[in-house]
Amino acid sequence: MDAPHAQIEYDLRGVDHRRDSADVVDVAFEAVDKVRTPKSWKHKKNYTGQYWAATTGGHVWFESLYERVALMQMDRDPAFAAISSQPMWIDWAGTPRRHAPDFFVRFRDGSAAMVDVKPLPCIEPDDVEAFDWTSSLCGGLGWDYFVVHDIGESEGRNLRFLSGYRYDRWRGRKPVPSW
């Protein structure tokens, strides 16, 4: 399915920008501010927060615990150089549809990708359409596109445990004998 023409909205150092999708290849989306923050309320089902990523040496915002585990996966991969959260709005021309991809990543080789995160049972037909359009847009820009949808519960637990050792305070330390 071919994606319709799109406009990209992003926020760089507090300044809102809107460009045609063909004119954003030179934008450093790994350095942009997030374009949206969902509202919070009592008894909300999703847990939002900040994840400290060793890859970036700073915090990356996440919108759900599932997104946090996806961040942990990306943070452990040495190919990743930078990660930004909710980097842009994609406004599809001729439709009322908008989409804010979950993450933009820059790889160490300079290439880029956009990442959406949603558990497989939660993916609706509208999501599939947005993912297809986003994939087509990314292909036209020379970026990769991934939908993370298959994180198992045990993998999530292991990543949460191992991510605690990504902090700088653990670098260069020798293991303590357990006798």
- Model confidence at 174: pLDDT above 80: no
**CATH number of the CATH domain containing 121:** 3.40.1350.10
* Residue 122, SS3 per DSSP: helix
DSSP code per residue over 124-165: -HHHHHHHHHHHHHHHHHT-EEEEE----HHHHHHHHHHHGG
Strand spans (E) along the chain: 6-12, 15-20, 49-53, 58-62, 80-85, 89-92, 98-99, 103-107, 112-117, 144-148
d(CA 91, CA 97): 6
| pLDDT above 90: residue 90 | yes
Q: Can you give the pLDDT at residue 76?
A: 87
Is 41 inside any structural domain?
A: no
Model confidence at 169, pLDDT cuts 50, 70, 90, reads low
- Does residue 5 form part of some domain? no
Tell me the pTM: 0.84
In a domain, residue 28? The reply is no
Residue 45 located in a structural domain = no
The owner of tokens 């558990």 is 119
7 lies in some domain: no
120: in domain: yes
The one-character DSSP state at 45 is: S
Between these two residues, 37 and 88, which has the higher pLDDT value? 88
pLDDT above 60: residue 154: yes
Residue 11 has pLDDT above 80, yes or no: yes
Instruction: For residue 29, tell me if it sits in a domain.
Output: no
- Containing structural domain, residue 86: 50-168
At 91 the pLDDT is 94
Distance from C-alpha of 18 to C-alpha of 21, rounded to nearest angstrom: 9
C-alpha closest to that of 3 among 123, 96, 135: 135
In angstroms, rounded to a whole number, what is the distance separating the alpha carbons of residues 65 and 49? Answer: 9
The answer on pLDDT for 158 being more than 80 is no
Confidence of residue 8 (pLDDT cuts 50, 70, 90): very high
Question: What is the count of structural domains for the chain?
Answer: 1
Q: Is residue 164 scored above 70 in pLDDT?
A: no
Question: Residues 112-145: pLDDT tens digits?
Answer: 999 999 999 999 999 999 999 999 999 999 999 9
Question: What does the pLDDT read at residue 5?
Answer: 83
80 is a domain residue:
yes
